């Protein structure tokens, strides 16, 4: 857990407290600009294309780091991305993350248990709705794709849908939110690959980061 304190794209961890092997409480730094979701709600139309791309890259870099050190986030969404004073993204809320090394938060990778399905339903990968599914890095990648959609659309994914409707749309009908017209074609392609129905077809975060640097080099 000590490794997570220093990365610029993840929230700084101030301290950890625990009562038993099934619970870990994490104390983190405070960022006054709030969540990405809050900023999208308050000033979405004022966000520049350059800022949108920076946020997309920030989040991908942070997630690539978490996966590199063996942490599955399990609840990646715009509410769990905070903005620094410089309006850069930091990933937060590892309350249901799983450290493969420590095995102190969640003792099993199964998607169902006492608390039900991990994560938040509009961001949940299709395979993760299955009771027998195991949460993988590719589930986090799917969630990232939905966050990309939020950054360019400014809306809330599956707004107005209840859980059965979301499950039917995502898992059965293989539907996805409508691609924002303002989204650059390169980012559309990346997003659509990241939310592929087939988890094996989704890129890893290290590949996403590489692709983003290529896109950046092309002058997006």
Q: List the catalytic residues.
A: 75
Rounded CA-CA distance 142/64 in Å is 14
Cα–Cα distance between 98 and 66 in angstroms, integer? Answer: 10
- Mapped onto helix, strand or coil, the DSSP state of residue 20 is strand
> Could you tell me which of 72, 113, 78 has the C-alpha nearest to residue 94?
72
Backbone angles phi, psi at 190, to 5 degrees: -60, -45
Token output for 205 = 């975060």
Q: Rounded CA gap, 37 and 60, in Å?
A: 17
């Amino acid at each position: 857990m000590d490794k997570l304190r220093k990365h610029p794209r993840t929230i700084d961890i101030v301290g950890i407290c625990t009562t038993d092997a099934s619970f870990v409480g994490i104390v983190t730094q405070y960022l006054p600009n709030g969540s990405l979701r809050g900023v999208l709600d308050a000033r979405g139309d004022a966000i520049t294309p350059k800022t949108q791309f920076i946020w997309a890259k920030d989040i991908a870099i942070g997630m690539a780091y978490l996966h590199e050190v063996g942490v599955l986030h399990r609840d990646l969404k715009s509410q769990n991305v905070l903005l620094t004073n410089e309006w850069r993204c930091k990933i937060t809320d590892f309350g249901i993350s799983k450290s493969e090394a420590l095995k102190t938060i969640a003792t099993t990778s199964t998607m169902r248990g006492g608390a039900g399905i991990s994560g938040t339903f509009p961001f949940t990968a299709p395979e993760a709705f299955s009771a027998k599914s195991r949460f993988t890095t590719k589930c986090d990648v799917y969630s990232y794709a939905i966050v990309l959609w939020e950054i360019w659309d400014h809306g809330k994914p599956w707004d107005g849908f209840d859980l059965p409707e979301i499950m039917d749309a995502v898992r059965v009908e293989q539907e996805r939110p409508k691609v924002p017209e303002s989204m650059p074609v390169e980012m559309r392609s990346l997003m659509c690959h990241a939310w592929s129905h087939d988890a094996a077809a989704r890129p890893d975060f290290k590949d996403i980061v590489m692709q983003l640097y290529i896109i950046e080099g092309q002058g997006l």
